[in-house]
Structure 1
Amino acid sequence: MNYIQGSTRTFVVRIGVIFICVLAVSMVGIAVYYHAQNTPITPVTPDTAEVVITDKPNDFTLKANSVDTLGVDPDTTFTLSSEQPIDKGTVKGAFVASPSFGYKIESTDSNTFTIVPESSLKTNTVYQFAISTATPETEDAHQFAWAYQTKNPFKVLSTIPANLATGVSLDLGIEIVLSNEKFKDPEQHITITPEVSGHFTNYRQTLVFLPDALQPATMYTVTIDKDFGVEGSHEKLGSEYQFQFETTSNDAELPRLGFEDQFYEYTAQDKPFFAFRSNDKSNLHVDAFKFDSFDDFSNAVDKQFTGIPYWARYMRQTHPFDTSGLQNVASFAPTLIDSDNFYSYFEFPTALDDGYYIVNLTNGNTPAQAFLQVTNLAASMQVSVDNTLIWAHDISTKTPAEGVSIHFSADDSLSQTTDSQGLANFTTPAVLQDQTSGSYNIRKSLEFFTLEKNGVKLLVPTKNSSNTFWYLGGDSAANRYYWGYLYTNRTLYL
Structure 2
Amino acid sequence: MKKLLCLISLMCLILLSCKKTDVLPGLDTSPVEYGVDDKYELRALKSDKQGIDSTTVFQLTSKEEINNNFIKNNMQIVPEQEYKIEKLSGTTYNIIPAVNLENDKIYQIVLNDEGYEYSWAFQTKKKFVVESTLPTDRSGYVPSNSGIEIYFSLSGLEELDDFFEIKPHVDGKFIYKNNTAIFVPDKLEENINYTVTIKKGYGLKDSEQKLEEDYSFSFNTKKEKYAEIYFDRPLTNIYENNAKIIEAYINNENLEFDINIYQYSNADYFAENINDFAETGKFFTGSVDDIEGLSLLNTIKQKPNISYKNIYNTPKGLFEIPGLPKGYYLLEFSTNSGEKNYHFLQINDML
Say yes or no: TM over 0.5: yes
Name the counterpart of 1:483.
none
CA distance in 2, matches of 1:169, 1:196: 17
SS of residue matched to 1:92: helix
2:180 aligned to 206, 210, 213, which one? Answer: 206
Question: Number of paired residues?
Answer: 306
Amino acid corresponding to residue 295 of structure 2 in structure 1: L
Structure number with greater Rg is: 2
Pair 1:262–1:148, CA change in 2 (3 A) = same
Amino acid corresponding to residue 41 of structure 2 in structure 1: T
Does the CA contact (< 8 Å) of 2:256 and 2:301 recur in 1?
Answer: no
Q: Which runs of 5+ in 1 are unaligned?
A: 1-55, 135-140, 374-456, 461-494
Query: Shift of residue 371 of structure 1?
Result: 1.5
Alignment of 1:348-363 (within 5 A): 348=320, 351-352=322-323, 354-356=325-327, 357-363=329-335
Q: Which runs of 5+ in 2 are unaligned?
A: 1-34
CA distance in 2, matches of 1:70, 1:240: 22
Query: Shift of residue 359 of structure 1?
Result: 3.6
CA distance in 2, matches of 1:335, 1:112: 82
Query: Shift of residue 352 of structure 1?
Result: 1.6
2:87 aligned to 107, 110, 113, which one? Answer: 107
Does the CA contact (< 8 Å) of 2:170 and 2:186 recur in 1?
Answer: no
Name the counterpart of 1:33.
none
CA distance in 2, matches of 1:279, 1:264: 25
Pair 1:130–1:320, CA change in 2 (3 A) = farther
SS of residue matched to 1:306: helix
SS of residue matched to 2:231: strand
Does the CA contact (< 8 Å) of 2:240 and 2:349 recur in 1?
Answer: no
Name the counterpart of 2:136.
162
Does the CA contact (< 8 Å) of 1:154 and 1:178 recur in 2?
Answer: yes
Name the counterpart of 2:63.
83
Cα deviation code 1:97-140 (max 9, x no counterpart): 02333322233444332212334333433221111334xxxxxx
SS of residue matched to 2:334: strand
Query: Shift of residue 147 of structure 1?
Result: 1.7
CA-based RMSD of the aligned residues comes to 3.7
Pair 1:81–1:259, CA change in 2 (3 A) = closer
Name the counterpart of 1:345.
317
Query: Shift of residue 256 of structure 1?
Result: 4.7
Query: Shift of residue 195 of structure 1?
Result: 2.6
Name the counterpart of 1:276.
248
Does the CA contact (< 8 Å) of 1:196 and 1:214 recur in 2?
Answer: no
2:230 aligned to 246, 249, 257, which one? Answer: 257
SS of residue matched to 1:309: helix
Does the CA contact (< 8 Å) of 1:200 and 1:209 recur in 2?
Answer: yes
Name the counterpart of 2:211.
237
TM-score computed with the length of structure 2 as normaliser: 0.70
Pair 1:63–1:365, CA change in 2 (3 A) = same
Does the CA contact (< 8 Å) of 2:259 and 2:331 recur in 1?
Answer: yes
SS of residue matched to 1:302: helix
Cα deviation code 1:240-281 (max 9, x no counterpart): 5444433222116x545237872334649x6x4443212245
Name the counterpart of 1:197.
172
Alignment of 1:323-338 (within 5 A): 325-334=294-303, 336-337=305-306
CA distance in 2, matches of 1:196, 1:307: 19
Query: Shift of residue 89 of structure 1?
Result: 1.0
Does the CA contact (< 8 Å) of 1:267 and 1:354 recur in 2?
Answer: no
Does the CA contact (< 8 Å) of 1:74 and 1:121 recur in 2?
Answer: yes
Cα deviation code 1:307-333 (max 9, x no counterpart): 3239x9x74598996589434334114
SS of residue matched to 2:303: coil
1:299 and 2:268 are equivalent in the alignment: yes
CA distance in 1, matches of 2:164, 2:324: 51
Amino acid corresponding to residue 201 of structure 1 in structure 2: Y
Cα deviation code 1:176-204 (max 9, x no counterpart): 121211112234543545233344132x3
Pair 1:241–1:214, CA change in 2 (3 A) = same
Does the CA contact (< 8 Å) of 1:287 and 1:328 recur in 2?
Answer: no
CA distance in 1, matches of 2:297, 2:162: 51
Name the counterpart of 2:123.
149
1:285 and 2:254 are equivalent in the alignment: no
Does the CA contact (< 8 Å) of 1:107 and 1:114 recur in 2?
Answer: yes
Query: Shift of residue 283 of structure 1?
Result: 4.5
SS of residue matched to 2:70: helix
Query: Shift of residue 94 of structure 1?
Result: 0.8
TM-score computed with the length of structure 1 as normaliser: 0.52
SS of residue matched to 2:249: strand
Query: Shift of residue 72 of structure 1?
Result: 1.8
CA distance in 1, matches of 2:138, 2:274: 14
CA distance in 2, matches of 1:370, 1:235: 43
Does the CA contact (< 8 Å) of 1:359 and 1:369 recur in 2?
Answer: yes
Does the CA contact (< 8 Å) of 2:326 and 2:349 recur in 1?
Answer: no
Pair 1:285–1:259, CA change in 2 (3 A) = farther
- Give the % identical residues: 22
Amino acid corresponding to residue 331 of structure 1 in structure 2: I
Name the counterpart of 2:30.
none
CA distance in 1, matches of 2:163, 2:189: 23
Amino acid corresponding to residue 297 of structure 2 in structure 1: N
Cα deviation code 1:380-431 (max 9, x no counterpart): xxxxxxxxxxxxxxxxxxxxxxxxxxxxxxxxxxxxxxxxxxxxxxxxxxxx
